[in-house]
Structure 1
Amino acid sequence: MRFLYIATGSQATVYGAAPLAAAVQNAGHEILMAGNEPLMRFAEAIEVPAVSVMPEPIRHFMKNGDSGNAPSPFRDLREEESLIFGRAFARMASAELDALLDLVEARPPDLVVGGSMSYAAGLLASRIKVPYVRHAEYLQIPMAEIDPIAEEGLRPDLERLGLAALPDPDLFIDVSPPSLRPAGAPDAQPMRWIPRNPQRRLQPWMYTRPEGRPRVLITSGTHFRMLPADSMRHLVDRLTRTGAEVLIAAPDRAAEELGGDLGDVRVGWIPLDVVAPTCDLMVHHAGAATAMTVMTAGVPQLIVPPNFHTKAIAQALTDFGAALTVTPEREGTDQDLVEAMAAGCREILSTPAYAQRAQALAEEITTLPTPAEVVRTLETLAAP
């Protein structure tokens, strides 16, 4: 069988799709991922066959006017973010639809899978009359709020295709552990989330725990820089004074900004899937792939979320007892934020209940069907 996966958004959507794509291949089927050009290098890095159907990134389709007076496409307010994302992903779906139609004419699929915000997937599947699967790649995506906005933005395309509304999926796959699914969430096929990220040759410190001291891993952030370089140094200082070993996962540019004056702190590329299980605490901004990786490792989290979606992730984990949330806008200056983060880290490291709840969540994730098991459901759905 041939499966077409349509990815949108950031590299997190590619990483979230990768385990299912690999399971499709391992079951003997063909998989092709379609996305915009910026996603291609991430698909290549994790060896998913991929084709670019448009050059523009998702930010190209985000317009400041979508949220009234908002100066940025990433506002903190729930309604504004729903408007921005709904309209942006609708524009993106409209822009890529013709290219996708050309693609399936050359390579017709038996089933189309779309990420949670891949609205073109449903339109395409409806047009070529094959089953459509919607895949929520990670936790707490507010689809119920964004879908109506996207539907309105896609009204001309819906009319062109003879559709009155966005097509309902024939199957909805959700990787959220049951304890964290929001009230009123639609019925779904659960699936275990499996970390997937680019790899390099490992070093022993990456897969072994330090002796006699806790390990804290901080992510600097890719789209959102969690702290300026000076503030990050202050946070590291606060943590190392408590005896913790500190690691900082950072892209090359951020690693250069932090410089080499952090003592024995390791800064740079760190394989989160390998290192997370050796940690006692992860500090990050609730990037979707990061949060899910930490959840599967059973590690408590200190989260500094910059927008509504990341706040939803942080709130779910905090309510469960597996995390603490520090919101930047409530802390005032960067120095105040650093002090609040350091205090939160000390609380988590000194309170076993956080680790216990994090481990309970990880154990729940292991009970969910694997991607390989879900592929059998897709085979049945696509069978003639």
Structure 2
Amino acid sequence: MKVLMIALVQSHLLPMVPTAWALQAAGHDVVLAGAGDVTEAGAAAGLSTITVGREKAGFQTWHRQAHHRTQGAAGPDAPAAPGPWAGLAVAWRKRVAGVIDEYLGIAEAWQPDLVLTDPIEFCGLITGGVLGIPTVAHRWGPDAMETMLREPVRAALNDLCAGLGLPAGMPRADLIVDPCPPSLQVPDLAPATPMRFVPYNGTGEIPSWTTRRGTEEHRILVSLGMFGMKTVSDAEQDGWAVVRSLLTVVGERRDTEVLLPVPAEARAGLGPVPDGVRLIEPVPLSKVLGMCDAVVHHGGTGSALTSAWAGLPQLALPLAHPALIGCAERIEAAGAGIALVEPERQGDPAELRAALAAVLEQPVHRKNAVRLQEEMREQPSPATVVGELEQLAAASAGRPERRVACAS
């Protein structure tokens, strides 16, 4: 079976990598298509790649800025402000129209049997629909963005889809795969095939000190993730302010050490750090959590799922983005930690002090974190889900002959 894998941004690709590995281990041929930064990350994970478009990180920057304009509630049934969502949908149409020819050309030339796509990389859904290839959407974690975006983007892409021979508009996925445990996932999303989360946070040199612990009573890891690091490093705003507030509060705790992964070239904006804070080079998150007692992060789904995989309680300080806020709220709803959503709460030393103490010292958060960890382990492995993907591809053998199409 030949599988064309498509991802919008690096952070959405990473949860798909273990599925790609399982497909390859089962003897299937996998190729990843995407923007330059996505294919770089894919190549580092051992995947064969085809780069689409000329931009490397430009769209990822646009993606972040565009979603900052969508300040509605994060739930799937929450009414979104028509202005921001309409503007985002129009921008998405421009982006899809600019690259869909390349995706269709790749698929027509390579003739995959299955498309495995990021749910909001709508080029994947369109490619599968135009060429008659079964399409599987691969969720990236607790997030309602796919639901919130779908209808505004679908309306914006209707004419483009019609010009490609899809008069009914953008197709839906034939199957959805979800690596998020049900207790952490946003309620009322479309039904999906559950799959065990397997952490992949990139690659890197593992420091020798990861096998040792010092004399401190507690150790916390602060994870900014890909999205968070780009945001706090933004020269147009002081994104380090919340991090500095957090470190000041943690510095008061003489019994606690903090690990803060930050590339050396990005540390200038952070300034001096208190005693007890160890600045380290970025390292795969899953490789250092075994020596930690809790995780503080920016609301990213990769940080949240990896922390749950490790059975650790979490303190989420989400950036002003509906997906990050929604993820943080799901952590708190699952009882596995605390979410300080409002910026004024994130910058309040008393709030931070109380939240840290609760996450580290109240047993209920760790108990629920371990429950999430056990729930994850009970989900079918990626290798098991590969069998379902094989069946889907085999069932499509009787579909009409695939068509050649070019974007209008």
Q: Shared fold (TM-score greater than 0.5)?
A: yes
Q: Choose from 133, 136, 139 the match for 2:139.
A: 136
- 2:94 alignment counterpart: 91
Q: Choose from 148, 151, 154 the match for 2:151.
A: 148
* Letter matched to residue 310 of structure 2: A
Q: 1:158 to 1:315 in 2, by over 3 A?
A: same
Q: Does 2:305 align with 1:302?
A: no
CA contact (8 A) 1:58 1:88 kept: no
- 2:28 alignment counterpart: 29
Q: Choose from 103, 113, 127 the match for 1:110.
A: 113
* Letter matched to residue 329 of structure 2: Q
SS of corresponding position for 1:224: helix
SS of corresponding position for 1:134: strand
Where structure 1 has 5 or more consecutive residues not aligned to the other structure, the ranges are 67-71
In the alignment, the residues of structure 2 paired with residue 115 and residue 263 of structure 1 have an alpha-carbon distance, to the nearest angstrom, of: 41
Q: Choose from 272, 280, 283 the match for 1:270.
A: 283
Q: 1:209 to 1:94 in 2, by over 3 A?
A: farther
CA contact (8 A) 1:61 1:91 kept: no
Distance apart, 1:201 and its partner CA = 2.5
In the alignment, the residues of structure 2 paired with residue 348 and residue 7 of structure 1 have an alpha-carbon distance, to the nearest angstrom, of: 34
Q: 1:228 to 1:143 in 2, by over 3 A?
A: closer
- 1:323 alignment counterpart: 337
CA contact (8 A) 1:112 1:130 kept: yes
- 2:6 alignment counterpart: 6
- 2:270 alignment counterpart: 258
- 1:179 alignment counterpart: 183
- 2:363 alignment counterpart: 352
- 1:77 alignment counterpart: 72
Q: Does 2:122 align with 1:122?
A: no
Runs ≥4 residues deviating over 6 A: none
- 1:69 alignment counterpart: none
In the alignment, the residues of structure 1 paired with residue 21 and residue 94 of structure 2 have an alpha-carbon distance, to the nearest angstrom, of: 29
* Letter matched to residue 41 of structure 2: F
CA contact (8 A) 1:206 1:275 kept: yes
Q: Does 2:279 align with 1:283?
A: no
Q: 1:232 to 1:142 in 2, by over 3 A?
A: closer
1:184-263 alignment runs, 5 A limit: 184-220=188-224, 221-225=228-232, 228-229=239-240, 232-242=243-253, 243-258=255-270, 262-263=274-275
Distance apart, 1:251 and its partner CA = 3.3
CA contact (8 A) 1:19 1:196 kept: yes
* Letter matched to residue 162 of structure 1: G
Distance apart, 1:166 and its partner CA = 1.9
CA contact (8 A) 2:15 2:140 kept: yes
CA contact (8 A) 2:179 2:194 kept: yes
What is the aligned-residue RMSD (CA, Å)?
2.5
In the alignment, the residues of structure 2 paired with residue 341 and residue 51 of structure 1 have an alpha-carbon distance, to the nearest angstrom, of: 45
1:355-366 alignment runs, 5 A limit: 355-366=366-377
Q: Does 2:351 align with 1:340?
A: yes
> Sequence identity, in percent?
27
Pairs aligned (count)? 374
Q: 1:256 to 1:49 in 2, by over 3 A?
A: farther
Q: Give a deviation string over 1:93-137, Cα, whole Å, max 9, x none.
A: 322210011112321101111101011111111121121111112
In the alignment, the residues of structure 2 paired with residue 141 and residue 27 of structure 1 have an alpha-carbon distance, to the nearest angstrom, of: 31
SS of corresponding position for 1:138: coil
Q: 1:110 to 1:254 in 2, by over 3 A?
A: same
CA contact (8 A) 1:190 1:368 kept: yes
Q: 1:92 to 1:371 in 2, by over 3 A?
A: farther
* Letter matched to residue 76 of structure 1: Q
In the alignment, the residues of structure 1 paired with residue 245 and residue 344 of structure 2 have an alpha-carbon distance, to the nearest angstrom, of: 19
* Letter matched to residue 72 of structure 2: L
Q: 1:155 to 1:252 in 2, by over 3 A?
A: farther
- 1:374 alignment counterpart: 385
294-303 or 32-41, larger mean C-alpha shift:
32-41
SS of corresponding position for 2:5: strand
Q: 1:151 to 1:276 in 2, by over 3 A?
A: same
CA contact (8 A) 2:256 2:276 kept: no
Distance apart, 1:91 and its partner CA = 3.3
CA contact (8 A) 1:91 1:153 kept: no
Q: Give a deviation string over 1:252-310, Cα, whole Å, max 9, x none.
A: 33334335654453213132111123211111111121111111111111111122111
184-193 or 223-232, larger mean C-alpha shift:
223-232
Q: Give a deviation string over 1:44-82, Cα, whole Å, max 9, x none.
A: 222222211112332576698x8xxxxx84443342565
Identify which of structures 1 and 2 has the higher relative contact order when contacts are C-alpha pairs closer than 8 Å and 6+ apart: 2
